[in-house]
Structure formats: structure tokens, C-alpha cells
A and B are shown apart, each in its own frame.
Chain A
Amino acid sequence: MIVRMVRPLLLASLICSFSTVRGAELAPKVEPQQGDKIVLIGNTLAERMQNGGDWETLLHSRFPQRQLVVRDLGWSADTITLRLRSLNYQDHGHTLFDHQPDIILAFFGANESFAGPEGLDSFKQDLAAFIADVRQLKYPIHTIRRGGTPEDRDGSGEVSKTPQLVLISPIANENLADRGIMAADWNNENLRLYTEAMREVAAVEKVPFVDLFAPTQVLMAASEAPLTINGCHLNEAGNARLAAVLDAGLFGNRPQETLTESQRDALQAAVQEKNLQHWYDYRAVNGFYIYGDRKEPFGVVNFPAEFAKLRKMVANRDQRIWALAQGQDVPEQIDDSNTGEFAHIETNFKNEIVITPPEEAVQLFTVRDGFEVQLVASEADFPDLENPVQMAFDGKGRLWVTTMASYPMYLPGTPVNDKVLIFEDTDGDGAMDKQTVFADGLHVPTGIELGDGGAYVSAQPNLMFLPDEDGDDRADEHRLVLHGFDTADSHHSISAFEWGPGGALYFQEGTFHQSQIETPYGPQRLVNAGVFRYEPRTEKLGIFVSYPFANPWGHVFDRWGQDFVADASGGANYVGAAFSGDVDFPRKHPGLKQFLVKQWRPTAGCEIVSSRNFPEEMQGDYLLNNCIGFQGVLQYHFQDDGSGFAAEPVEPLLRSSDLNFRPVDLQFGPDGALYLIDWFNPLIGHMQHSVRDPNRDYSHGRIWRIVNKKKPLVEPALIAGQPVNALLGQLKTYEDRTRYRARRELRNRPTDEVIAAVDAWVGRLKADDAEAPHLKLEALWVKQHHNAVDGVLLNELLTCGDARVRAAATRVLGYWLDRIDDPLSLLQQQVNDEHPRVRLEAVRALSFFHGPEAQAALDIAAEALLSEMDDYLQYTLDETMATLEGRLPQ
């Protein structure tokens, strides 16, 4: 889903900034002809241009009579040699052969530049080959199948006309010093080198070239406010300025504007609407069911008519753009009556469908002795609660939930309207009585987490941030912050959002997916499933776990920062520490043993019992949802298994005999009760039915809570708006989720204030306080949230008396390797620790060394063999050795 904020272009400032970089008269480099089709290819720079449509608006207003067709095929992290796509994407209708463009604007060089000066020669060679290929319309995509090797595929057909290719350089990067992102310092020299290389090759190959690097560097230097969201991708203001630079760079000095400001706004809105419908086509979710291996037997029935219709809708929008560019009036509504009909789809779900009313459904639960299931919210009282997926609690104790009525995907012509809802229990009776729509117009938002003054939500194939700076409980804007998470299967897309204790946001994706994400540190790629780790403050995005999961959907951290990952489809559960060491793409970690014996598949969501409302003997137990078969919450009791864990089944917490009950998320609320999100749907299979099966349910959803009647509920902690010191006090609270929410609140307070308060708080802890090691660990995590490295506290915890704390501190060290003195010596100490879990964390952390330090890291990792080994340690050691070995000089 692309978000289009229709904002008036600030024409005056635009022209002004443009003139600052103009210099001499600019000659046109390319001259579009009547009816020409202009196709944009390249990286995120190109991809993000379609959102605001600034440049295209300038284009149509410059050539109002020429009826130009623009198709933006930009794709996150595409390079001249590598473009990951889901299987058989080349059959979907968006190869260059399919488009037969007259003009191709190729935006490359940004991702390539991370190869540095030593990569320049091969870049130039590759670029020359790329130019020759593209002139022949060859622009293959790359897919790595599950368990397979990379394959490249392309469309085919006549080259009826040789397109006019224009090479476009990367933009400059800028420093965002307050977030520690020094992207200009890190990258601009390389970007300049690659820009010059492109200029050189373009001249030799006689291809027009537009330099965006130099003018954007000037613009960035001159601008007081940042022009990027992350140092390397333009924000709204940046894109508006870029539009003018690119317009002039391509077509020369701009003629007299013919449109009024309101006419331009209408044109820009029409461009955005056209781009949105085109986006639904070229970035369609569920590609595996449209053109991939699961197009049979259902997709071949419904999709051809759907995409035929969508493409006609896009063509209608081209016409509307031309009319508006010519200053004509257009009707308010777009007439799509000429776009054809959908195929008739019959259900193959013959079971009797009985929608159980909430008051009956509550009777169908079987719970462990002493517990009670209570209805918190349902579609009966809140009709917007349609297909709820993931929840989060805010600092005011309110429950946020994403809804997914558009699942499995957009139907052409019917605008999507998935939502983020906030539920509130204003009278404290345990049932929600107030609903606020925080955001709507979303498309299959499979995950949500709160933080940084807003909400992070998946917006396949992007990650979206919904800020609420004015605190009116309504998202200020829909800001796309990361791009390129594949959506070959909309129920495998980024989901199960969870903060790590140190302030990284984790989310997961399933198999088939071919993801590539650009960051100011370079592109990151992942194929066929894994877990991402994202630091919003620094914009670091890493592949936390690259593992051939089927479809992971569940991730939880315990009191000591150990994490557990649940794979939904196969029902497997893993110890996170063991398989989250670094690997170099495309290598994936091999099979890791599961810490529990699977009882029921598929699962959706996991949680650890940490609530004084729950009985003593259940504390620390692992809870796992099952949504087909058992339909309830399974429960397991942890014990140590060497450096890892093993969990054994105990009596399940609950199950329902209502076949519609589909628990898909679970989390302890501020009151210590366990909350359950119930997707509530009679028909649940993604691949077993047509995506358009008429019996898919779009209008139900439930939220339940499970309360232990034998103990009181927990008094909810005060978090929102509390003073920093009070929040630090909350870090002493028993419940994991309360400390989780207190840390999340603290991350959004001014760093200086928080760090000073943390230091004073740590200073006040008594040495003989049994809780002191854990509290100091909490302090370390708060600092990690703020990217505030503290070598002294870290050193203390690396050697403290509690092995669990030493292990957690070793994990933190692994993310501070670049800013701690002599990290190898510290890890050597940890590798020889008396506790296997600390040794495992050290071996894991050693996998992150590169270059000249890889050999030393390898030698230190081998020292793990001097102590007792176990399955987990052996696995992690093998993996670290394999990674480091690959980085030794050949």
C-alpha cells in the first residue's frame, strides 16, 4: 500500500531551490514524443518517487499535449546486476518486453557504491553490459527457490523499437547527527566515485546521463531541515526538490507554467491515484498465487480478470492525467465501467457456517482450573473489529489492534480500509467500551508495535511508521520507512512485531519471499524466510535470523533477554541465541534443534507467563497459540538444556470447541491478564481456497482475556507521561510486559535526561540488593535503546555473578563491537566463561567480525572447545566458524 499525502507543492520554494543549483542554461537530454511510454527502473530512489508523484506532475505539466504514459518499476535495492523477485514474477506482465518503453530512466549506483573504490572497475564493466542488455529490453529478475540456487529469468518478445535509455546517478546522502547517522561522511565519497563512473560509461556508450549527486549535495548542505528520512532516502520535501532537479536535468529549462496551483494539485492527486493502482499491479501481494507455484488451481480462475481490470483502470487514470495536464475539468469520480467483470468464484468450503455469537463462544472454552475467559471486545459492539491480527498495549493501558478486512488482498476497484484501532476500558470493568480509529486505509497490516511516538505497522511490502506528534490519537501521516519486504504470500509478510529489550524492533517473514531492503549502511537481502532486526534510531536493519522457516509468526524475550522464535506453519520453536549469529547472503543457517516437541501445527504467536495474576508454578512458562486442530493455547515448562533450553508440555491453558476460534496473537496486558486476539473465521486456509472464496469472512473478530480467578489482577503500572525516574522505578516491576512498556516509553524521552537519570539510579542501587544485577541489566538495555554506549557498565555486567546477566551483556556487546575498546579481548573472556550460555552468546557475537579481525575472531571462537560443549554450542560454533571462514582472505 502506498500512502499518498496530497500536499500542495510549495512552488515558490521549489523554483527557488532549483535556481540555486541551476547555474548555467540547461540543455535538454531527451525529448519525449507524442504518446511515449516512460518507464522508471532502479532502486528505492525511483520507487519512492511514485508516492508523491512530484516529478511526474512536473513532467505532465511540462508536456501537457503529449499524453505521456509513465510506469514506475523502481524496486528497493535493485542494482544493475541483482534484482530479487518472487518466483515467476517475469510472467506477471512487467518485464521491459511487456512494457515496450520509449524512454527508460535508470536509477542506479547507490547500492553498487557500497563496494567502494575497489568495486569501480567491475561496476563500469557491468554497467556497459547492462546498457547493452536494456537496449535489447533484457532486464532479468533473480529468484532463489527454497533450497535452491539463484536463477535468472526474463520475459521475451520482439524489440520493436530501441528505447532511449537515460542513466541517472544516485543522490547524495546527508548526516543526521542527532541519530548518529553520518551517512554523508560514510557514503558520499563512494557515491561521488560511482556517479563519475556512470558519467564516464554513459559518455562512452553515448547514453544521456543526469547527475543528481552534485545538485542534491548542494541542496542538502543548504537545507536547514533534513531532506531525507534516514540519511539516504528523500522525505517529502526532498522529493519535491529532487523533482525539479530531475525535470531540469532531463528536459532543460522549464517553460512558463500553464497550470494554476489548484490545477497542479489536482494533477498531482491524479498522478498519485494512477500510481496507486499501478502499484497494486506491479507490486501485487500474493504473487505466489498469481503467477508463482500456487497459481493453480484457484489463481488462474480469478486473477486474469482482476489484473485485466486493474490495468484498464490504470489506463483510465492516464487519460485523466492528460486531461488535467491540459487544464481540462474532469468528473470527481473516475468512471471505471469500461474495465470488465470479475470471474465468478464458487466456494469450495461446504461445511456449514455457523457464526457463534460472542456470548455463546465464551461458553465453548475449556480452561485450566481456576481460570476464566472473558470477552473484551467483539464485532458485535465494535463493527470495525474485522479480522484482527496483532495487538499492542500503550502506556495508558489501551489496547491497539490492526484489522485486516482486505485480507487476502486488494480487490481492484474496492478501496482498502484496514485499520489500526485503539480500544479503551474507561470504566474498568474489563470490557472495552471506547474505540478510536487511529489509522485507516491500510492494506493487509500483518504486524504492529508502538513506540517513538507512534506505531510501526507493516504495509506490505513496506514498513510504515504512523506518528502521532500532536497526541490526538489519529496518525499524522503514513510514513514509509523501509521498502522491499517481499509479499509473494500476504500471510508470510512481515509480522509478529516485537521490541527486543535493547530497543531493536524485530519482525519476521516466511518462505518464498525474496526481500531486499536499502539502508544507509547498504542493502540487506533475505530469501526464503527469516527474522529482521531494525534499529529505528540508527536505521540499521540486519537479518537477525536467516533460516529456512516455513512461516515464522511469534517471537518473545524472557526476563534475561533470551529470545524464542516460533515457526507457525510447521509448529517448530527455536532458541533465538543459537541461530542469530551473522551469515553472509545468501547462506542460511542449517537446521537447528527445536526446544519443544511439536504438539499441534500451525501456531500463531508465543508469550512467556510473567504475571502475578497467574499461579506461581506457571511463571516463566511458554505459551503458544494453535489456530487449526487444537484451537487453543498450549503451554510448556522451560528448563535448561546446556547453553539453550528445553520445554516440556504441561496442561494447555485453554482450548475452544468453536471451530471459528482462531487465536493469532497473545500478550499479557497491564492488568496481568492474558489477552488473546481471535481472527474468528470459519474458513482459514490461505492456499486451500480461492483468495476470493465467497465464504471467507471479513466482518468478525474477538478479543478475549484469560484471568486467574484465584488471585487478584495486577494494578496496571502508570507509564504514559510519567517522569523518567518513575519509569525507571517501573523497571523493578515483576511483570516482563510492564518493564517492556516502561523501556518503550523511556526510549521516547530525551536521551540526555534519560541517561543522566539512569546513571543516578544505578548509583543508588545497593551492592547487596539481590535484584541489583537484573536492574543494572535493565539500565544497560535502556541505554541500548538510546544508542548510548556505556563501556563501564557493560564491563561490570560481563563479569558479574549472575550468568544470565553475563549472557545478556554479551549479547549487547555484540551490537556495540564498533564502539567498545578491544571487543575481541572481552569476547575471549566470555568464550571461556564458566556458564555455557555466556559462551554461546560470545561465540554468536564473534560471527559479526569482518576484515582483518575475522581470523582473530575465529581463533577465539575455537577456544569454546576448551570447555564442555553441547548441541546448541556446537551448532553456534559451527555457524560462526562457517561465517568467519568465508571472510578470511582467499
Chain B
Amino acid sequence: MHHCRHVCLFQHAGQLARMAFVAVLFVPVLRPPTHASAEEPASAVASVMRLLKSGRVPSARLGTVIKQIARRGNEHDLAYLFDQASASLGYDAALRLEAYRLLVDAAANRKVIPAGDLSRITQIITTGPSDTPELRLLAIRLAGLWKVSSALEPLQMILEDNATSPQERQAALDALTAIGGPSARKALVQLTRETNSIDVRSQAVAALANLDVDFAAERAATLLQELGDDGDPTVIVGAFLDREGGSRKLAAAVEKAPPSKDMAMLAMRHMYSVGRSDEELAGVLGRIAGIDANPQPLTKQQVAEKIKQVAAHGNAVRGEDVFRRADLSCTKCHALSKAGGQVGPDLSPLGASSPADYIINSISNPDQQIKEAFTTRVVVTVDGLVFQGIVVDRNDERLVLKDAKGEQVTVPTADIDEEVEGKSLMPKGLMKFMTEAEFVDLVKFLSMLGKPGTDYAIRQTPRMQRWRVLTDVPESLRNGTGDEAEQDAYLSGPTEQAPAYARVNGDLPLDDLATKWGPVLYLVGEVDVTQPGEIGVRLDSAEGAVISLGSFSSADPEFTLTLPRGRHAVMLQVDTRVRPVSTLRLELFRVPSSTAQFEVVDGA
């Protein structure tokens, strides 16, 4: 290995600065540095603070100005903000709330906390006006971020109160964990007892992993056993994955007190779905679930052999089914024709541009070739937390990563203890979840992607690829016995939805959806109209289907209508029992002479 050390580049930066603008020397009148004052501590927002205190800032601009201060200021600048926000004659309610939010961001993202006495925050938790739960929530977060020990007691009371909202409970748990110490640990241990709900106990174990990882691992193993075959292990497993060395501790505990085979499988799947394949935990869970956890990388000969098999036996139709399988999570990260996850690259043109060996290697060893936009970093914080993701952004103060769930995480630079180049976010154990034949079919499917004239060609027309299926449809509507009034009542409120992706050729398979969500499905697609006008809608078969677009409704397979600018939901009510085909395909089309410009909405 090469010896690496940091080199000082900044002396050169100074040179550069001078050289690039040698011209500055020729400015005829040099200004004296008029504004800097010796008493003020060095601050990046000294200019803004002066502006604020000058009285020149109109009240409508105060929010922007304090935002600038909170985003870049030092501990003294923040102390000023905290004073203003907590003084009775200080900011009005809205600005006060904004100031607290900004203080949370400054502490969480930049590790900057106000100078001076911070215990005032405890009073807001205990005596803060109950009609501003948001303020109280922010105060709870600040108590944790600022490690205000006087808040420990009120936090425990919040946790013990059964009426506490889940959001506030989580905030209190986080705060308690952040403050730490024996009494925090004791409070968390209390919460892991059987008298509490399984969700609360999972949360508490997850929090405890930060304070006493060995104890938490034991409790976690017990809880995983209690979760049976189909409970949700993600909070527990996630907490140990997020800690440096945590998954090893959990592996040891699970070894001693193994969960059910199915639970091991669920836990393993969660680990892979967040882009992790930690050796020990994968090994233990794999043994319990009965899966080979240690596949060897494919040799050149094996790759060549697989290419032959793909050519001889690969079936792209079956391969697409493999790709769509929930347990492989392919669609969580990868889009096809832009419909699907947005973490990895869209695979639409893959077969037309990438050879079979490249595809096989990318599945069996995702780390080998990574496009520059998808390289990752792994950071370990000083608190022992582990983050892995694609670098979205970084500056001197924080690093923003996009993780395997597509979520952005901000890590303050000051918290980063160790940082290394990461591997691909794609799980390495995918081949374990497939039979030989399934793998061959999958590769066949991927090699076909983007080939014109096939079912795998890139979408040429504005066709709905990403649907959302409504998942909380009342029983009466699901089985088709409800009436219009029930439907109106249901649809006028907020609904819960899950993504449903069409096959590459635009066909949305209905069977699985009907099995899961009922024979009558409610499906929503979206279209963005950027220039208003007449647009055509065409359904492959209207049998059993009713299309609604705003107040417009039709049982015809094809119609046109004029849409204003904006995003529109196209809703389909489909009775799969009367539909002659088990798929559905919806196309939008351009009406000759119409000036409309529109695009179907894709994405995750």
C-alpha cells in the first residue's frame, strides 16, 4: 500500500488567489478595511450581524437574515438568536418557531450550538405552551442536540406518558440517547420491558444500541424471536447496522438466541436492501434462513458459461418477473423507462449499450465497475455511527449522502471520524436469492432492454409506466359492493398508496395487485401539462375500467379532453373480475393541431 498523508495545498491557494488577480494591484484607490471591528469574535456572518443590528433590515426580511446567521454563524451569533427567540419581547411566534428550527439545523448539520446557558430550553419542554406542539418538539430536539442534562427528567416523563405522540416519542428517545449517562440508559431499559408495545420496545432497543450495545444486542435477539415469522425487524436491525461494529454484536446475540427462519430471511433482506452485506450478520442470518451466505465471485470461465446459458435458455419474459420480485428489491433502486427507484441508474438502454459479461459481473460483483455518478463514501462518525451513500454534496461543514433507500442524510464534517471510498450501494448477495435458471432469465431480460422492435424497447410514446395503487380502499369498494357516495367520501380524503410499475412494454399486471389489494383496484397515474390544450387518452381495453381525470369521467377506451397547465391525476377504477385480460395499458397521445405540451410523471 502507498503511504498517504495530507499535503498543504492552501499555501498555494493563497498564491493562486494573488496570481489570478494580479490585476487587483492596479485598482487606483485602495479602500481601507472600514468595517471590521477588533472586539468581535471571528464570524462568517459578521457582516450580516452588523446589517441586522443596523436596523436597516425590514421586518419582512428578518426571517431570511436570521436564516443566514443560523446557517453560517458561530456560537456567539447563535446565542444572540437563542436570546431573541426565547426573550418574551423577542420574536413573534412564527419567527420564533423559525429560529428554533434553524438552531436545530445548526446543531444537527454543523455542530454549532449557542454559547452560554442553554438550560432555558428545559423550561420550554416543561412549561411551553401546549398549543404549540411544534415548538415543544423542537425544544426536545434541541435538548438532545445540546445535551442539556436538566431535560432528562421531563424527557423521561414524556416517554412514560402513554398519550405521547409517536413523533414526540421518537424525538424524546433520540434526545435521551444523545444526552446519555446512567439515568438515560435506565429509562431506555425500562422501555424495553414486556409491558410496552412491541413498537415501543423496538424503538427503545434501537436507541439503547447507542448507549450499551452489548445489552441492546441481547434484548434485540429476544425481540426478534418475539417478532415471530412476519413482524417488522427493520428498526432493530437498522440500529445495529448504523453503529460501527453493531452488526457483529447483533450477529453474536442472534447466534445464541436465533429467530425464526422467516424472520432471519426478513432481517437479511432488510440488510441487503440498505446496501449492506456485513459478513458476520449475513453469515448467521444466512445459516438460520438456509441460504449460502458466502458466494465466491464468478470466474471468467463461469461468466463465459453463463453467457452461453443465457443465449441458449434465457427467457426474458420470466426474467422480467424475476426483476419485479419484491425480495430482490431491484425496482426499489432502478427505474425502467424512468419508472422505478432513483438510487441506481435507469436500466432502460442497458441491453443495447452493455454487453452480457458486463451485466453478469454487475449483478454478481456490483463493486467492480461503478459509473462515476454512483460511487459511494462510507463514513464513521465520532459517535460510532456508520453512513453509506452516494455523495450528493459536501462542503467544509457537512457531507450529504444519498443512501440505498434514496434518502438524503447530512453528516457534519466535524463528526466524521473515518471516511473511505465506498462500494456500490447494490447488494452483493443478490444471486443467493435466485436459482440458476432465474439468474439466467434475469440476465436475458436485462440484455434485451433497449432493443428496438421488442417488448423491451425504450418507451417511444407518452405511456403510463408508474402507477400508484391505493392501499387503504374500504372493504365495500374493494369488493365492488360500495356505492358512489362511499367512493366519493373515500376519495375526498387523504389516501395511502404504493407504487406499481408497468412492465417495460407498458402493461401493468393486475393479478398480483388484485390478490393483495382486492378485486376492484384503484390506480392513479399522473401527467404534467406544461402547455395547456387538448390531449388524447387511450386505454388498451375499457372493459371493467372507468377513467377519471378531475371531474371528467369516461368508460370509453379512447377520448380527448382539454387540460389546463399543471399536474393531473388520471384515476382508474378497475374491476379485475370482469376484465378479459390480466393487464392494463394506458397511453396518452398528441392530438393533431393541439398546442398542448405534456409528459407522464415517472419516478419511484
A residues lining the B interface (CB < 8 Å): 79, 81-82, 90, 111-112, 114-116, 119, 122, 142, 145-154, 186, 294, 296-297, 347-351, 366, 369, 510-512, 519, 521-525, 542, 548, 550-551, 569-570, 584-587, 590-591, 599, 601, 617, 628-630, 637, 648-651, 655, 657, 659, 684-685, 687-689, 817-819, 821-824, 848-853, 855-856, 858-859, 861-863, 865-869, 877-878, 881-882, 885, 887-888, 890
- Given A122-B11, A522-B15, A657-B452: A862 touches B2 (CB 8 Å cut-off): no
Q: Which residues of B contact A511 (CB under 8 A)?
A: 372
How many chain B residues have a CB neighbour from A under 8 Å? Answer: 94
**Does residue B12 face the partner (Cβ distance < 8 Å to A)?**
yes
Interface centre among A629, A650, A685, A888 (most CB of B within 10 A): A629
Tell whether, in the assembled complex, residue A865 and residue B57 are in contact, meaning their CB atoms are under 8 Å apart.
yes
Known A522-B19, A591-B393, A861-B47; judge A877-B9 contact (CB<8 A): no
Inter-chain contact B2/A659, CB cutoff 8 Å: no
Q: Can you list 13 A-B contacts (CB < 8 A)?
A: A147-B391, A151-B2, A152-B7, A348-B357, A350-B355, A511-B372, A522-B15, A551-B372, A637-B531, A649-B597, A866-B56, A866-B57, A882-B396
Q: Which residues of B have CB within 8 Å of A882? A: 44, 395-396
B18 CB-CB contact with A under 8 Å? yes
Q: Confirm or deny: B83 has a beta carbon within 8 angstroms of a beta carbon on chain A.
A: no
Q: How far is the CB of B201 from chain A (nearest CB, A)?
A: 39
B22 at the interface (CB under 8 A from A): yes
Q: Is B7 within 8 A of A856, CB to CB?
A: no
With A569-B371, A882-B395: A525-B355 Cβ-Cβ less than 8 Å: no
Decide if B30 is an interface residue (CB 8 Å cutoff). Answer: yes
Q: Looking at the assembled complex, report how far the CB atom of A628 sits from the nearest CB atom of chain B, in whole angstroms.
A: 5
Also in contact, A82 and B9, with CB within 8 A (given A569-B372, A629-B458, A659-B452): yes
B352 contacts A856, C-beta separation under 8 Å = no
The SS class assigned to the A binding surface is loop
B578 within 8 A of A: no
Q: Do the beta carbons of B348 and A570 come within 8 Å of each other?
A: no
* The 4 A-B residue pairs with the shortest CB-CB distance in the complex, in nearest-first order: A522-B19, A818-B23, A591-B393, A629-B349
Is the C-beta of B312 less than 8 angstroms from some C-beta in chain A? Answer: no
Other than A142-B7, A523-B15, A866-B61, give 15 A-B pairs with Cβ distance below 8 A. Answer: A148-B419, A297-B369, A350-B355, A351-B351, A522-B15, A570-B373, A585-B9, A587-B395, A591-B400, A628-B353, A648-B597, A659-B352, A684-B353, A819-B23, A859-B50
**Contact in complex: B18, A584 (CB < 8 Å):** no
Q: Which residue of chain B has the shortest Cβ distance to A859 in the bound complex?
A: B47
Q: Contacts of B349 on A, CB cut-off 8 Å? A: 628-629
Cβ contact within 8 Å between A114 and B355? no
- As a 0/1 sequence over residues 249 to 266 of chain B, the CB contacts with chain A under 8 angstroms (1 = contact) are 000000000000000000
Could you say which residues of chain B place their CB within 8 Å of the CB of A348? 355-358
Q: Name the distance in Å between B310's Cβ and chain A's nearest Cβ.
A: 10
Given contacts A297-B361, A522-B15, A629-B349, contact A859 B6 (CB under 8 A): no
B18 touches A150 (CB 8 A): no
A650 touches B597 (CB 8 A): yes
A736 to B75, CA, bound (A): 51
Cross-chain contact B375 with A81 (CB below 8 angstroms): no
- How near does chain B come to A662, taking the closest CB pair, in angstroms? 10
Q: Which of B1-48 contact A (CB under 8 A)?
A: 2-9, 11-24, 26-36, 42, 44-48
Tell yes or no: B553 within 8 A of A by CB: no
Question: B284: shortest Cβ distance to chain A, in Å?
Answer: 31
Point out the residues of chain B lying under 8 angstroms from A628, CB to CB.
349, 352-353
Please name all residues of chain B whose beta carbon is closer than 8 Å to the beta carbon of A350 when the two chains form the complex.
Answer: 307, 355-356
Tell me if A817 and B355 are in contact (CB < 8 A): no
Complex formed: what's the CA distance from A511 to B7 in Å? 21
Asked whether, in the complex, the Cβ of A590 is within 8 Å of the Cβ of B394, the reply is yes
| Interface pair A153/B16, CB less than 8 Å apart | no
* Residue of B with least CB distance to A589: B395
CB distance from A93 to the nearest CB of B (A): 15
Please give, as numbers and ranges, the residues of chain B lying within 8 Å of A887 by CB-CB distance.
17
CA distance A650 to B530 in the complex (A): 7
Would you give the shortest CB distance from A176 to chain B, in whole angstroms? 15
A181 CB to closest chain B CB (Å) equals: 11
Closest Cβ–Cβ distance, residue A577 to chain B (whole Å): 19
Q: Looking at the assembled complex, report how far the CB atom of B95 sits from the nearest CB atom of chain A, in whole angstroms.
A: 15
CA–CA, A878 and B44, complex, Å: 10
**B48 and chain A: residue at smallest CB distance:** A862
Determine whether the beta carbon of B4 is less than 8 Å from that of A856. no
Contact, CB under 8 Å: B9 / A150: yes
Do the beta carbons of B33 and A590 come within 8 Å of each other? Answer: no
CA of A154 to CA of B5, assembled, Å: 11
Q: Which chain A positions have C-beta within 8 A of B534?
A: none
A590:B31 contact, CB within 8 angstroms: no
Chain B's nearest CB lies how many Å from the CB of A144? 8
Residues of chain B contacted by A586 (CB below 8 angstroms): 9, 13
In this complex, the member of A115, A154, A821 whose beta carbon has the largest number of chain B beta carbons within 10 angstroms is: A115
B13, B72, B352: the one contacting A881 at CB < 8 Å is B72
Q: Are A687 and B19 in contact (CB under 8 A)?
A: no
Judge whether B96 is part of the interface by a CB distance below 8 angstroms.
no
**Cβ-defined contact, A82 with B12, below 8 A:** yes
B30 interface neighbour in A154, A510, A848, A852, Cβ under 8 Å: A852
Pair A818/B395 contact, Cβ less than 8 Å: no
In the bound complex, do residue A90 and residue B373 qualify as a contact, i.e. CB atoms below 8 Å apart? no
Q: Looking at the complex, which one of B5, B20, B47, B353 makes contact with A521 (CB distance below 8 Å)?
A: B20
A521 to B17, CA, bound (A): 10
Given contacts A149-B6, A865-B48, contact A850 B354 (CB under 8 A): no
Interface string of B54-65 (1 = CB under 8 A from A): 001110010011
Instruction: Say whether A689 contacts B355, CB under 8 Å.
Output: yes
Q: Judge whether A821 and B29 touch: CB under 8 Å.
A: yes
Distance between A519 CB and nearest chain B CB, rounded to angstroms: 8
Complexed CA–CA distance, A550 and B72 (Å): 28
Is B218's beta carbon under 8 Å from chain A? no
Bound: A511/B371 CA distance, A: 11
The reply to whether A688 and B369 form a contact with Cβ atoms under 8 Å apart is yes
| Nearest A-chain residue to B398, judged by Cβ | A590
- Residue B105 interfacial (CB < 8 Å): no
- List of A residues within 8 angstroms of B369 by Cβ: 294, 296-297, 687-688
Chain A residue at minimal CB-CB distance from B8: A81
Q: Could you tell me if A862 and B29 are in contact, using CB atoms closer than 8 angstroms?
A: no
Given A151-B4, A521-B19, A684-B353, A591-B338 contact (CB < 8 Å): no
Interface centre among B11, B13, B15, B31 (most CB of A within 10 A): B15
Q: Taking A294-B369, A651-B590 as contacts, is the C-beta distance between A849 and B24 under 8 angstroms?
A: yes
Cα–Cα, bound, A23→B57 (Å): 71
Bound complex: CA of A862 vs CA of B69, how far in Å?
11
Residue of A nearest to B401 (CB): A147
Chain A residues lying within 8 Å of B528, measured Cβ to Cβ, are 648
Contact A569 B373 (CB under 8 A): yes
Residues of A within 8 A of B592 (CB): 369
- A186-B22, A586-B13, A659-B452 are contacts. A865–B346 as well, Cβ < 8 Å? no
> How far is B394's CA from A882's CA once the two chains are assembled, in angstroms?
13
Q: Is the CB of B51 within 8 A of A863?
A: yes
Contact of B354 among A142, A512, A685, A822 (CB under 8 A): A685
Task: Tell me the minimal C-beta distance from B590 to chain A in angstroms.
Answer: 7
**Complexed CA–CA distance, A36 and B403 (Å):** 56
- B444 interface hit (Cβ, 8 Å): no
